Amino acid sequence: MKKLFAIAAVVAVALTSCVENEVVTPAGEIAFKDFTLSSKALILPGSTAEEALPTTCAFGAYALYQGLYESVNDEHAVDADYTTDDAIYVDGLEVKHDGSQWAYDVAQYWPTDTNDLLDFYAYYPFNASVASWDTTNNCVALTAAQLGTTLNDQTDWMVTTPVLGKNSDNAATGVGIVFKHITSMVVFKAIDVTPEARYQNLITIKSIEVKQAAYAGNYTAATWTADGASRADVVVYNDAIAVPTAAAADVTTATVDGGAVIVVPETMQDATEFVVTYDLKESADHVIAAETGVTATIKVKDLTAAWQAGKKYVYTINFDLIGGGVGGDDELLKEITFVPTVSPWEEVVGGAPAI
C-alpha cells in the first residue's frame, strides 16, 4: 500500500508628552472617531471584514507638524530651521476610550493657529517602552516587539498609514485612522482527497505544530528584523478532528477560541517546519492498517518563501491515502479623536508541494 499525503499551501491573506511650547491657548482637545465595536477584531482567524478596535484596547498616536519633517514617502520637505524634535507635536501618547470617544489619556489639544496642520501616525497596542518615533526614517519604530507564544493571547501589532493635514476642523468628527496588520497569521485547513470512497474517512488529525516560529523582533520603515534568539515551537492544534471529504475543514478554528498563530514576518528559515500528527483507521478490506501517531514534517520554505506583513497564510493539508496525489473658535476646546478600525488581512494564493 502506498500511503502518501500532500500539504497544499493556500496563502490567504489590515510616553511623555512633547507639545510645542508656543501653543498657549488650545483650540480644542484632540479625539478620534468612534465605531460600533467588535470584541474579537484583532486575531480572529475568520476575520476578513474591516472591524472596529475594541474599546478595551489602547494605542499610541504621534502627531507631527506638517511640513517640518520628511516622511518615509517624501510627502514633505524638511525645513532647515527645525529639528525632528521641533516637528513632534504629540510624542506617541496613549489613546484610550472613555465610554464616549477615543482620546489621549492625557488630553492633548489642537494648535491655536488653524493653519498649523498635523499628520498622525498610530500603533497598537500602546507600549511606551517598545514604540518610538524613528527620526531617520520618520515613522513608528518598534524595538523588541513581543508577539508571544500562547495562542489566542498573542500581540497583533498594527500601525496606521499616515493621516495627513488635519487641524481643529476635525474636532467635531474626530480624526479617522485605519490600522493595518504588520505581523503574519498562520492557520490550517484539512481535506481528504482520496479518490476511492472505501478509503475515505479514515484520517483523524491529532496535532499540528509550527517549529521554530519567530515571536519577537524589531520593526521600522515597514520592515521586520526577527530576533534570532526568540523562536519557539508552537502547537497550534492539539485535539482530534476527523478529516472531511467534501470540503476543507478549519483545523485551527476547531478549538473553542481558534488556533491561529501570529509570527514575525521574515524570509523563511531552514529550522521553521510544520509537523502534522494523525491517526488512521483500518480500511474494510485491510489494505490500510490502523496506525496512531503518524507524523509528517515539511520545511515551510518549501511552501512559502517568506511570511509577509499583513498576510494570513492558510495551509490546506490534502490527504490522499491511495492516489498518491497527496472647526470652531479658539475658546471652544476641541479634542482630537480617532476612528480606529482594523483593515482586513490580505489574501493571496500559493502552491501545492507534496510529501
> Residue 335 pLDDT > 70, yes or no?
no
Model-level pTM?
0.76
Q: Which amino acid is at 213?
A: A
What pLDDT does residue 46 have?
A: 46
H or E, element range at 84? helix 84-87
Burial class (CB in 10 A: 0-12, 13-18, 19+), 328: middle
Side chain identity, residue 2? K
Please identify, in words, the CATH class of the domain defined by 4-10+184-320: mainly beta
Residue 243 · residue 277 · CB < 8 Å: no
N- to C-terminal Cα separation, the chain: 16
Q: Are 98 and 88 in contact (CB under 8 A)?
A: no
* 168 secondary structure, DSSP code: G
Which of 160, 214, 210, 154 has the alpha carbon at shortest distance from 187? 210
pLDDT tens per residue, range 84-112: 557 888 999 999 998 888 899 998 988 87
CATH of 31-182+328-342, one of 2.60.40, 1.20.1070, 3.90.1720, 2.60.120: 2.60.40
pLDDT value at residue 81: 38
Q: What is the mean pLDDT of residues 189-198?
A: 85
Mean pLDDT, all residues of the chain = 74
Backbone angles phi, psi at 108, to 5 degrees: -120, 145
Ranges in the chain annotated CATH 2.60.40.2630: 4-10+184-320
Neighbouring-strand partners of residue 300: none
pLDDT of residue 256: 34
Which residues fall within 8 angstroms of residue 136, CB to CB, at 6 or more apart? none
Model confidence pLDDT, tens digit, residues 68-89: 665 444 444 433 333 455 788 8
Q: Which three cell numbers stand for residue 245?
A: 471529504
For residues 13-29, average pLDDT? 36
pLDDT at residue number 340: 43
CA distance 213 to 228: 10
Cβ atoms of 33 and 176 closer than 8 Å: yes
Mind listing the pLDDT tens digit for each residue in 165-190? Answer: 998 888 888 888 888 889 988 888 88
Q: In 10 A of CB 291, how many CB atoms? A: 13
Residue 191 backbone phi and psi in degrees, to 5? -150, 145
CA distance 154 to 341: 19
How many other CB atoms sit within 10 Å of the CB of residue 208?
26
Q: What is the pLDDT of residue 131?
A: 96
231-242 and 163-166 beta bridge pairing: unpaired
Q: Does residue 90 contact residue 104 with C-beta atoms inside 8 Å? A: yes
pLDDT of residue 346: 62
Q: pLDDT, tens digit, for every residue of 272-292?
A: 998 989 999 998 988 888 999
**Stronger pLDDT, 23 or 62, i.e. the higher one:** 62
8 Å CB contact between 189 and 49: no
Q: Output the CA–CA distances (angstroms, integers) from residue 292 to 202, 240, 295, in the order listed.
A: 12, 12, 9
